[in-house]
Each structure stands twice: as C-alpha cells, then as structure tokens.
Amino acid sequence: MAFHYSRRKLKVREEEETGELNIVPYLDILMNLIIFMLLSITGLATFGIINVNAPAYGAPTTGMAQEDPDDAPKLTLSVLISKKGHFVSSENAILGEAGTPTIPVKADGMHDFGALNAKMVEIKSAFPKETKVIVGADPDVPYETLTQTLDAIRETQGRERRLLFPDVTLGAI
C-alpha cells in the first residue's frame, strides 16, 4: 500500500482561520473620501473671502436718549439688488423715485456698478463719518452681481482707492 500525499488547497480556509483581513478595498474607499473632502473644502474656501461684519449691538439704554454735542444726522444706508437695478435708500428717504431703482440696469441688462460707486462717493461726501451699509438681494440675483456690488460700495474705483462704507451687513429682503 503506497501512500500518495497530495497537497490540498486550504488557501481560503487558512485565511479564515488566521483572521487576516484584506483591507485594500477599505483603503481605496478611504482615499477617495479624503480626496473628495479636500476638493470640496477648497471650493468652499472661496466663499470666505468676502469680509462682512455682523451688526454690533450697543449697551442697553436706560430709556433716556443721550445726545452727542456734535450730533450729526444719522444715516442708515441700505442697498437692495434686484433684476431692475440697485435701490439705494437711507433711514427716512429713498434716494430716487418710489418704485423705480436709484441706479437702473444698463440697456444691455447689466448692473451699472460705476454709477453705484459714484452714488456711494456722493453719499460719503455728505456723511463722512458713516461706515455702515446694509445690503440685500433678491434670491435670483447672481452671486457675481452681489460681489461686484460689495466692491462698488466699499471703496472708490480707479488708481486712488479710498474707503467708502467698509462695514457691510448682509440682510434678507
């Protein structure tokens, strides 16, 4: 009686018994998730470039108004962006005719940021100490229009740049 030794294939069983786990598919998924998260974070970082400040809340008042010796008229400036153009208004007055934009869109349908900047320079010369403005936009206004509006409100255009209204608060319409 001759014994013939044959080699059995226990490869699958040996892996199960030793408890080794093939982690290559898990590493592939992990690497894909890391790349996806890095790319999505860099895309969102561009939204953080616009510097806007939250409204500042003053100390509680005692009910009696305190007057400054150099009590200049207060300006609460608002700029609203719509498809028709820019509506510029102050605390008690709309700067333009009611129902029509202060700075309408140009004939080609584009917003006139140069005219908006000139209007801001005019308002700044009348109220030199004011730095705050509230900006609101219709939901269907493109993001690029909002950023160009903020640029036109904040500083003068051209070689000699000068701050106009750097304290911007984004509001809802």
pLDDT in tens, 52-109: 555 555 555 554 455 554 555 677 888 889 888 988 888 755 565 665 677 888 889 8
What pTM value is reported for the model? 0.56
Residues in the chain, how many?
173
Q: In 29-140, at which residue ranges do the beta strands (DSSP E only) sit?
A: 77-81, 85-89, 103-104, 132-137
Identify whether 121 is part of a domain.
yes
Tokens 């730095």 belong to 131
Q: Residue 34: its pLDDT value, please?
A: 92
Residue 120 lies in domain: 77-171
Q: What's the pLDDT band for 30 if we cut at 50, 70, 90?
A: very high
Cβ 165 vs Cβ 153: under 8 Å: yes
What's the rounded Cα separation, in Å, for the pair 79 and 82? Answer: 10
CA 101, distance to chain mean position in Å, is: 24
CA 147, distance to chain mean position in Å, is: 8
Identify whether 104 is part of a domain.
yes
Cβ 99 vs Cβ 80: under 8 Å: no
Report the SS3 class of residue 93. coil
Structural domain count, the chain? 1
Identify whether 84 is part of a domain.
yes
Identify whether 153 is part of a domain.
yes
| Higher pLDDT among residues 34 and 55, named by residue | 34
Q: Provide the token pair at 167.
A: 């304290």
